[in-house]
Amino acid sequence: MTTRRTFIKGAGSLVLYFNVMPFDASAQQSSAAELPQSLAANRSLDTWLRLDADGVVTLSPGKCELGQGVQTALAQIAAEELDVDMGRIQVLTVDTGHSPDEAYTSGSRSIEHSGAAIRMAAAEVRAILVELAADELDTLPAKIAVRNGVFTIDGAMTPLDYWSVIAEKTLERHASGTVPVKDRDRYRVVGSSAERIDIPAKAFAENVYIHDMRLDGMLHARVVRTGNCEATLSLRADIDTVMDSPGVVKVVRDGSFLAVVAEREEQAVNAARQLAALCDWKHATLPFDESSVSEWLREAPAEVKVVAERGAVGSSGIARNVGRSYSRAFQAHASLSPSAAIAHRQGDRLTVWSHSQGVYPLRGAIAKIAGLDEQSVRCIHAQASGCYGHNGADDAACDAALIAMQVPGRPIRLQWSRADEFLGEPYGSAMTTEINAGIDDDGRIVDWNFDVWSGSHSTRPRGANGAGRFFAARQLAEPLAVPPVGNIPQPRGGGDRNAVPGYAFANHRVTKHLVPDVRLRVSAMRALGAFTNVFAIESFMDEIAHEQAEDPIDFRIRHLDDQRAIGVLNTLREQMSASQTGSLEAPAGVGIGMARYKNSGAYCAVAMHVVVNPDSGQIKLRHALCAVDVGLVINPDGVINQIEGGIIQASSWTVREQIRLDRDGAASKDWVSYPVLTFAEVPAVEVTLIDQPDELPLGAGEAAQGPTAAAIANAVARATGKRIRDLPLTPARVRQA
Amino acid sequence: MSINFNLNGKVVELDVPPDSALLYVLRNDLQLNSPKFGCGLAQCGACTVLVNGQAVRSCVLPAASAAGKDVVTLEGLGSRDAPHPLQAAFIKLQAMQCGYCSNGIIMSAAALLQENPSPSEEQIRSALIGNLCRCGAHGRIVQAISEAARQQQDKERP
Ligand code: FES
Ligand code: FES
C-alpha cells in the first residue's frame, strides 16, 4: 500500500473524473459484440468525434458539464487514444440536434458510459487514419506512429497528419469494436493532472453559463407561484392592470400556471411582484411539521419490502437488545444559480436551452407538455452552477417551453427567483431509520434489523411519460397524469442505498418502506439514501462502542471481514495520531464514520474534530481527516478535490440544513431561512489516498457524505456526552439533548 | 433615465429605468457576464462588483446610485492576455468546481487585497463571509487568494 498525503493547503487540484474510469476488461479486448453501451447505442464514429480543418479534434459526448470536469476527463481519454495534445481538443455541449443519446449525466457513471465509448471510438479513428497514411506513404500501418496528430516513421516526422489524410466522409462509419485500445501502462495523458479545460473561461467570465446567453429579440419571463404545485389559483383582480406595467408583453395563464413576459428583466421582476399581490392560492395543508415528520413517515401508506436478509434475525445467544432511531429533515440542493432556461418557438418547432442533467429525456417530456411531436423539439445543454442531483433545471425548462408556446417568434429567457428555486426544487426526502440489534456476551453485534422509511429518490421527468412530473404539469387547466415515483432496486438502492450493512453481522434483515407520497416534491440528491443510512449505522456503531468502552475503530474492525474497509480505518487511525490538534478549548471531541459507498464503490473513512459551545449549542467544525480507497488512483488531485467538496457540503447538511416547514408546506425561501456553512465555518480538510493499483477505479463524488455526518455526530457525542440522532444537528438540539 | 459612470476605465452613458438594479444594467445593457444573479437579496455575493473600490452587491444597488462613480467588474481586473493575480491563482490552483461563485469571490478578494495586501487565512475567510460556495471549493479558494496576494507582493517589490 502506498499512501499519498496531501493537505488542503497547496493541494494542486484537478480533474474530478478519473477516479471513476472503468478500465473494464471488455473494453480492453474489444470485439464487435462487446461495444460499450453508449457506443453500441450510437455507433457512427462521427457522432462522437470530428476532425476540424484547423488542426482541432472536436468531441461530442452525450454527457453534460456540471462543474465536475467531465469535459476535461473525456478530452484526456480522446487525447490519449489519438496521440494528440490536450490543446487540440475541444468538447461540444450536449444537443439533441447532433449529440449521442446518453440519457442522464448522473451517478458518477459518465466515464463508464461516455469515456468507454470515446476511448474505443478514438482508437478506431486513429487506426483508420493510420491506414490511410500508410497507403499514401506506401508502408505498413504497423510502421507508423503518431505524435500530436502528425504521422511519424521510425521517430521521424512525415509530411502527413490526421487532417491531411482525412476525407469528408472518412468517419461516417460504424464502430467495429475490433481495434484494440491503448495499454494502460502506456498512458501519459490519462492519469496526469491535466488542467480543467472549462476553468479559464470561467475565470475570465466568458460566455459559459445559460445565464450568459443573449439571443436576438430575447424577452424575459418570470413565473408567479407558491411552492405547492397543486395549489389552485384565483386572481383578485383583472390581469390587465399588470399588462399596463412598463415593458410587459404578455401575461400567460393556464389553469394555475401563471407567468409574465417583459422586454427587460427588471420589468418582468416588477410585473411578477404585482401579479403575486393579486393571487389567492388554495391548497391542502401539510399533515406533519418539523418535529413530527419522522413519525408521520412511519405511519404513511408505504410499499414495504425486505431488501436484504442473511441468517435468521432473532437467533439465540443474545445478551442484550438495543433499539435506536435516526432521521434527517428534507434538504435542498440549493444550487447557487437559480434555475433558468431559454425557449424559442418558431412555427411548430421549439428549441430549449437547459441545464438539465439529461437533454434527451427532457426533450420527450417537453414535447409532451407542449403538445408537439418529439422531432419538433430540440434541447441543448448549457451550464449553470453545480446541481448535486435533480434540482429545478427541468422544471424551469418546462416553464420556459409553456411560455414560449404562447409567445412564438421571440426567444423567452425564464429565470427563477431565489424563492422559486427553494420552494420549487424537488428536495432530498426526509428519512427515518430504526436499528434493532442483538448483542452477544462478547459485546459483538450478531443480529441486525434495519428499517428505513423514505420518499422516492427518483422522480425525473424522463420522456413523454415523465412529463407529469414537471412542477407546472399539475398546474395546467388540464393537468397531466403523474406517473408512479421511481423505486431504485438493490444493489444500488434509492432510499435504501447503503442500508445493507457493510459489517459482517451474523444475521441481518433490511426493510425498505417507500412512501410514494411525502406531500413535498422529492427526487435525487447527491448520495441519495446513503447519507442518512450511513449516518444511522455509523452513529449506532459508535454508540455501542462507547457503551462498551471500546475504541471505536477497534470495535468496527472486529465486525469487518472486508480488508479494504479495515484498510481505510487503519489509515485514518494513523492520520489521527499524526495530526497535531494542539490544545483545544473544551468541550472538544473527535468522531469517525466509515462506509463503502453503494456497498460497491469507494471506501471512505472520515474523522471530524469539533468544538461545541454548550451555552449556544453551536458546533464548530475544526478539522476533517479522511482516508479514501477509490481503487486505482488515476488522478490523485481529482479525487482529493471531490472528497473535499463532498465533506464540506455534507458538513453543511449535517449541522445546519433543513427545509423549514409550516402548515402551508415548505417555508425556506432564501439563504436566511435555508442557511448553509460560510467560509468562516467550513472545516479544514486533509485527505489521504490509498492507492490500490490492482483494483478497478471507483467514483469519489458521493463517498464522503454519509461518513462525514456520522463523524460529526459522533464527535459531538464525545465532546458533550450528548447523542443527537436527528439531522441536522441544530444548536437547539445540542442544547436540548 | 440617463446615467453615466466609469466602467472598467471607460465612461459609459445609457438610458435605463430609474429603479433598475446595477446587476441588470451590467448584465443585460452592458452585456457583461461576470456579475452573477444568485439571489437578488444581498445574501450570496455572486453579483459582487467594485464601486469606488468597495465590494458591493450589485443586485440590490440601484444603477442610479453608481452615477459618476468608478465601477469595476471581473472583466476590468484582467484578461486572458493579462490576467489579474487572482485569476491566475484560481486557474493555477483550480479553485472552483462549477465556478458560478468565482466572480463574486474574486471581486470580494480584490477589495480585500487592496486594503490588506497580505491577509491571513482567517482574514480571507472572514472577508468572504458574504460569498457562498455551494460546491465546497472553499479550501482551494482561500489558498488561491493567499497565492495571489504573494504574487502581487512579489511583483510590487522593487
Ligand atoms: S445576487 Fe446579489 S448577493 Fe446574491
Ligand atoms: S464552485 Fe460551484 S458554487 Fe463555488
In A297-339 the beta strands, taken as DSSP E runs, fall at: 303-310, 320-328
Considering Cα of A223, then A225, then A229, then A231, what sign does the dihedral take?
Answer: negative
Q: CA geometry: angle at B87 spanning B84 and B91, to 5°? A: 140
Q: What share of chain A is helix, strand, coil (3-state, %, to 5)?
A: 30, 25, 45
Class of domain B2-77: alpha beta
> Residue A335's closest CA among B151, B147, B135?
B135
For residue B118, the CA-to-ligand 2 centroid distance in Å is 24
pLDDT band at A16 (very low <50, low <70, confident <90, very high): very low
Instruction: Give the pLDDT confidence score for residue A92 in this predicted structure.
Output: 96
Which pLDDT value is given to residue B18?
85
Q: Is the pLDDT higher at A8 or at B110?
A: B110
- Most A CBs within 10 A among B31, B138, B142, hence the mutation to make, goes to B138
The CATH superfamily label for domain B85-156 reads [2Fe-2S]-binding domain (1.10.150.120)
Q: Write the pLDDT tens digit of every residue in A154-208.
A: 999 999 999 999 998 999 999 999 999 998 888 888 877 788 999 999 999 999 9
Q: How confident is the model at residue A636 (pLDDT cuts 50, 70, 90)?
A: confident
**Cβ-Cβ contacts under 8 Å, A196 against chain B:** 94
Q: For residue A10, what pLDDT is reported?
A: 27
DSSP output for B45-111:
-TTEEEETTEEEETTTSBGGGGTTSEEE-HHHH--SSS--HHHHHHHHTT--SS-TTHHHHHHHHHH
Q: Distance between CA atoms of A483 and A594, rounded to whole angstroms?
A: 36
Give start-end residues of each CATH 3.30.365.10 domain in chain A. 4-203, 210-283+337-422, 431-457+494-736
- Beta strands A445-454 and A340-346: pairing type? unpaired
Q: Determine the pLDDT at residue A240.
A: 84
Compute the mean pLDDT over every residue in chain A, rounded to the nearest whole number.
Answer: 92
Evaluate if residue A24 carries a pLDDT over 50: no
Band of pLDDT at residue A5, cut at 50, 70 and 90: very low
Q: Categorize the per-residue pLDDT at A107 as very low, low, confident or very high, splitting at 50, 70 and 90.
A: low
pLDDT of the residue at B46:
98
Provide CATH 1.10.150.120 ranges for chain B: 85-156
Q: What is the pLDDT of residues A119-130, one digit of tens each?
A: 999 999 999 999
Peptide bond into A287 cis (omega under 30): no
CB A453 within 8 A of CB A513: yes
- DSSP-derived letter for residue A27 is H
Which comes out higher in pLDDT, residue A424 or A27?
A424
pLDDT-derived band at A490 (thresholds 50, 70, 90) equals very high
Maximum Cα–Cα distance for chain A, whole Å? Answer: 84
> Which CATH number is A431-457+494-736 given?
3.30.365.10
What separation in Å is there between the alpha carbon of A158 and the centre of ligand 2?
Answer: 46
CA-only gyration radius of chain A, Å: 27
Per-residue cell: A612: 461545541
Strands A248-254 and A257-262 turn out to be antiparallel
pLDDT tops 80 at residue A565 = yes
**Which pLDDT does position A192 carry in this prediction?**
79
Band of the pLDDT at A14, cuts 50, 70, 90?
very low
Question: So what's the pLDDT on residue A720?
Answer: 95
In this predicted structure, what is the pLDDT of residue A108? 67
Rounded (10°) angle between helices B102-115 and B138-156:
40
Chain A positions touching B136 (Cβ under 8 A) are: 644-649, 682
pLDDT on residue A710: 98
Residues A587-593, mean pLDDT to the nearest whole number = 94
Percent of chain A at pLDDT exceeding 90 = 84
A703 C-beta neighbours (distance < 10 Å), count: 34
pTM: 0.94
Give the pLDDT band (50/70/90) at residue A28: very low
Q: How far apart are the first and last CA of chain B?
A: 47
CATH of A4-203, one of 3.30.479.30, 3.30.365.10, 3.30.565.10, 2.60.120.260: 3.30.365.10
The count of other CB atoms within 10 Å of the CB of residue A345 is 24
Give the residue-averaged pLDDT of A523-535. Answer: 97
Q: What is the DSSP annotation of A396-461?
A: HHHHHHHHHHHSTTS-EEEE--HHHHHHHSPBBPPEEEEEEEEE-TTS-EEEEEEEEEE--S----
**What distance in Å separates the CA atoms of residue A516 and residue A457, rounded to the nearest whole number?**
10
- pLDDT value of residue A4: 29
Per-residue pLDDT at A584 exceeds 70: no
Ligand 1 cavity residues, CB under 6 Å = B 37-40, 42-47, 57, 59
Query: Does residue B138's CB lie within 6 angstroms of at least one atom of ligand 2?
Result: no
Please give the average per-residue pLDDT across B63-91, as a whole number.
Answer: 97
Mutate to test the interface with B, among A679, A682, A685, A705 (most CBs of B within 10 A): A679
CA of A362 to the centre of ligand 1 (A): 29
A44: pLDDT strictly greater than 90:
yes
Q: What angle do CA B79, B82, B87 make, to 5 degrees?
A: 60
Query: pLDDT tens digits, residue range A395-449?
Result: 999 999 999 999 999 999 999 999 999 999 999 999 999 999 999 999 999 999 9
> pLDDT (tens digit, 9 = 90+) per residue, A695-717?
877 778 899 999 999 999 999 99
B1 lines ligand 2 (CB under 6 A): no
Q: Which of A336, A532, A394 is nearest to A450 (CA)?
A: A532
Note the pLDDT of residue A3. Answer: 31
Cross-sheet strand order for the sheet of A588-596: A2-7, A684-691, A619-629, A603-612, A588-596
Angle between helices A636-655 and A530-547 (to 10 degrees): 80
A137, amino acid identity: L
Provide the pLDDT for residue A641. 86
| Residue-level pLDDT at A27 | 39
> How confident is residue A49, by pLDDT bands cut at 50, 70 and 90?
very high
Per-residue pLDDT of B80-126, as tens digits, reads: 999 999 999 999 999 999 999 999 999 999 999 999 999 999 999 99
Of A203, A418, A637, the CB nearest to B87: A203
The model's pLDDT over B4-43, given as tens digits with 9 standing for 90+, comes to 999 999 999 999 998 999 999 999 999 999 999 999 999 9
| Cell numbers representing residue A359 in the block | 437533454
What distances in angstroms separate CA A326 from CA A289, A510, A534, B103, one per listed residue?
17, 15, 10, 40
Min Cα separation A382/chain B (Å): 12
Residues in chain B, overall count = 158
Out of A289-293, A328-332, B153-157, which region has the weakest mean confidence (pLDDT)?
B153-157
- Among A38-47, A314-323, A339-348, the minimum mean pLDDT is found in A314-323
Q: Average pLDDT of A287-312?
A: 97
3-state SS assignment for residue A35: coil
Any bridge partners for residue A95, and if so which?
A380
* Third-level CATH fold of A210-283+337-422: Aldehyde Oxidoreductase; domain 4 (3.30.365)
Using CB atoms, which residue from B21, B33, B43 is nearest to A205? B33
Residues A608/A590, Cβ–Cβ less than 8 Å: yes
From the list A674, A23, A698, the residue with the least C-alpha distance to B39 is A674
